[in-house]
Structure 1
Amino acid sequence: MRKISRRTFIHNFGVGVGATSVMASLPSFIALPENPSETYDGVKLNIALCGLGRYADYLAKGLEVSKYCRLAGIVTGTPSKALDWGKKYSIPEKNRYNYQNFDEIIHNKDIDLVYVVLPNAMHKEFVIRAAKAGKHVIVEKPMAVTASDCEEMIAACEKAGVQLAVGYRLHFEPYNLEMMRLGQEKVFGQVRLVETSLGYNTGDTIDWHLKRSLSGGGPLVNLGIYCVQASRYLLGEEPISVTAQFGPITNKVKFAEVEESITWQLNFPSGAVSNSSTSYSCGVDRLFASADEGFFELSPAISYGPFRGRTSNGEMNFPEINQQQTQMDAIGKILLENKKLPSHITGAEGLKDVKILEAIYEAAKTGKKVSLV
C-alpha cells in the first residue's frame, strides 16, 4: 500500500486524550475528512441508494447530516419501500427507481453517484449498469463474489469514465486509524502477531446471507472481509500465503449452503502472522496486535461501534463518530473537486480483498497452504 503525505486531524474530530499521538504520525495510506465544525454552503453530491435494506438505513441517517452529500434518489424492488422512503426523505417520484427501470437513471441529472447496497451477488450487475449510466459508484463489501467480477466492474467504470469506491468506512474511523498508526509506524516495535475476529448469531433461514446464490459465501465474505482488511491495514503489508480451516456445522438446516464458521492464518513478508476467525453462531468483535515492545487492541473493533481500545501504555480515548457521514463526506469532497479517489478505497483495494477471500476458501477446502504471490 503506497505512502501518502501525513496530515493532522486532531481538530477534525475534536479529540482529547490520545489525539496527540495520532497527530504526530498518521497511518500511511489514509485520506482524512475535514473539520466537521466548518460550514459548507456549496453544491452537494447527489446520492442514490440502490437497495434499501438494514445498512441503507445507516447510510440514510449519515447522509441526513452530511456536509458534502445528500440523499437524492432510491432504487428498490419493493414498491412499499419506495413510497415510504420517498415520503420520509422527500425524494421526488422521478428519482425513485426499481430494478427494471434503473437504466433510465442515465437521463437524471439530479443523481451524481449510485451507492450499491444490494446482496453481494447483485453488486456486479448494478455497478456496471450505474457506470454505463455515467454515474460514479460506491459498492459495499465484499466488492463482488469473485475476483473476475471485480475486474469487470473496474473495467466498466474505467471505460465509462466514472470513479468506483468500496465502502471502507473504517479507513476514516479514529480508533482504527490509531491501530494503523501503531502497527505501521512500529510504535511498539515490529508486530509479530495479529488476532482478529468478527461474528454474530444469524437469524432464521430466510436471511439472504445464508443463500449462496445471493451471498457468494458465509461469514467469511460478510464478516471475515473486515478481519482481512484489519490485518492488512494494521501491518501495512500484503499477505504472502494462507492456511485455513472450516469449523463444525452445528445446524445443518441453517447452514446447508454456506459455512457456519471459518478460521485462517495469513503470513506476511515481515514474518508477522494474523490469526483470524469469523462465525454466524457466536458473537465476537476484536482486533489485537502483539509487538516486540507491547500490545494494542480494540474490542469492539470493526463493527459499528462504539469502539473501545487500549495499549500496553493505557486506554485509548477517541470520540465516537458517525461512520457513514464521515466516509461520505470524505468521498463527496473529493468527487466535488473532480479529484481522483485515493487507492485505499477504490475497486483496486476491493479486488485485493476478494482475491484473499478466494484463497482462504481454497486453503480450507484443500487443507493446503495457498500462495498469494
Structure 2
Amino acid sequence: MLMPVRYAVVGAGWISQEAFLPAVPQTGNSRVTAIISGNREGAAQLAAFFSIDHVCDYQDFDALLRQDVVDAVYIAVPNPMHHDFAVRAANAGKHVMVEKPIAISEKEAIAMIDAAARNDVLLMTSYRLHNEPATLAALDVLRAGKIGEPISFSASFGFQSQTGNHRLKNEFWGGPLQDIGIYCINAARHVFEAEPVEVFAMAARPQNDQRFEEIDASIAVTLRFPQNRLAQFFCSFGVFDVDTYRVAGTEGELIMENGFRFDTPSRLIVKTKRNIDHISYDIHDQFAGQVQYFSQCILTGTRPEPDGEEGLADLKVLVAIEQSLRTGAPQPVSNPPRPGHPALSMLRRLPTTTRRLLL
C-alpha cells in the first residue's frame, strides 16, 4: 500500500468536525476520501470544505466499501452502532479505528476483534493519549522508579454537559462513565501496568435537572489491583471543568493537571523528598498523532498497541462497574495481562490547526 492511507469517516458529528477531519491533513501519511453520514447535506458541506471526494448515506456504506476509494474507516457514530460498522468494514478488507468504548457488550467487542483477525486487517481503539507527549512522559517517570512503587491512583474528570447531547441518552449507552470515566480506567491500568481484579461504584443523580432524567450525573469508582494497589476516580457531566490525576508512590507523588482533554495544555508535577519538578507541555494535535500512528501501523503491517483487545479490557471494567451500581456490591473483573503498554516510541508531536468547519 502506498501513502497516504485513505480513510472513510463514519459519522460526521461533533468529534469528527472538531477533531478528526481537521487533524488528518496534519499527519503527512493520511487523507480522508469519504464521509458516511445520516445528514447528507451537512456531509456534503464538510466534503467540500476538506476536498473529500465521496459522500454517502449509511445505507450505502457497503457499496462504498466495494469501491477502491478507502483503505480504513474511522467509526464515530453512537456507541451501539460501533459493532455493526466495524464488522462490515473488516469483512470488506478495510482497517478499522473505532471510538471508545469499543462496543456496548463483550460479545460485540469480541465479534469485532474476530472479524479483524479473520480478514487480516488491523483494529485500533481510538486512545489518542497513547501517543500524547505528557501522558507518555508520566508513564516514563513511573517506569524509571522516580516516585518508587505506585500504590494509589486517583482521578477527577468532569464538566457541564449540554442539554440535548446524545451522551445523555440511555439508548446510546450514554453517561459520564462510558464517555469520560473510561479515560480514568485506561490511565489506571497503564499506571500500574496491570489489570483490576475488583470494582465497586456509587452514583448520584439530581432530581431537578432534566439532563439526568435517563443517566446518572456523577459516578465514583474504586478499583482493586494486584499487589495491594488501589485506584479511585470520579467522573461527572454536572460539575465545573475538572481534569486531573495523581499517583502516590512509596517515595514520591506524580500529579498531572489537564490529563485527559485534547484542547488544554498539560502540566506534570513530580514530587519527592529531594525535589519538586514542574514540566509544562504545549498543546499538540492528539487526533493527528493517533491517525499518523495508525496509518504507520497499516503501512508497515504492525499491530497497534491500543488494539481491539485493549478496548475490550476497558469495556469489561465498564460492565463490572455498571453491575456494581445495580447491585450495590463489589464485582470481580478478569482480564488477561496486556502484552505491552504505551511507550515513548509511540510519541507523536504534530501541530494543531484552526481550519475546521463546525455545522
- Higher mean displacement: 318-327 or 347-356: 318-327
1:341 is aligned to 303
**CA deviation vs aligned residue, 1:70-123 (integer Å, no higher than 9, x gap):** 11111111011121012111122xx21210111112322120000001111111
SS at 2:210's partner residue? coil
**CA deviation vs aligned residue, 1:165-204 (integer Å, no higher than 9, x gap):** 1111100101111221223443210111111121111111
CA distance in 1, matches of 2:124, 2:321: 24
Amino acid at match of 2:280: N
Amino acid at match of 2:265: P
Per the TM alignment, residue 252 of structure 1 is displaced from its structure 2 partner at its CA by: 5.1
Matched, 1:187 2:146: yes
1:267 is aligned to 224
Per the TM alignment, residue 250 of structure 1 is displaced from its structure 2 partner at its CA by: 4.2
1:6 is aligned to none
Gaps of 5+ in 1: 1-41
Matched, 1:132 2:91: yes
Q: Which is strand-richer, 1 or 2? A: 2
SS at 1:254's partner residue? helix
Matched, 1:287 2:287: no
SS at 1:345's partner residue? coil
TM superposition score normalised by structure 1? 0.84
1:54 is aligned to 14
Name the count of aligned residue pairs.
326
SS at 2:281's partner residue? coil
Q: CA RMSD in A?
A: 1.4
Matched, 1:242 2:199: yes
CA distance in 1, matches of 2:225, 2:175: 25
**CA deviation vs aligned residue, 1:283-314 (integer Å, no higher than 9, x gap):** 21111111111111111111113212211121
Q: 1:328 aligns with which of 258, 277, 291?
A: 291
For residues 112 and 195 of structure 1, do their structure 2 counterparts lie closer, same or farther at Cα, with a shift above 3 Å needed? same
SS at 1:356's partner residue? helix
User: Percent identical across equivalent pairs?
Assistant: 29
**CA deviation vs aligned residue, 1:105-155 (integer Å, no higher than 9, x gap):** 232212000000111111111111211222110000110111111111111
CA distance in 2, matches of 1:132, 1:251: 47
TM superposition score normalised by structure 2? 0.87
CA distance in 1, matches of 2:181, 2:141: 22
Amino acid at match of 1:233: H
Q: 1:307 aligns with which of 257, 262, 266?
A: 266
CA distance in 2, matches of 1:302, 1:255: 23
For residues 184 and 240 of structure 1, do their structure 2 counterparts lie closer, same or farther at Cα, with a shift above 3 Å needed? farther
SS at 2:184's partner residue? helix
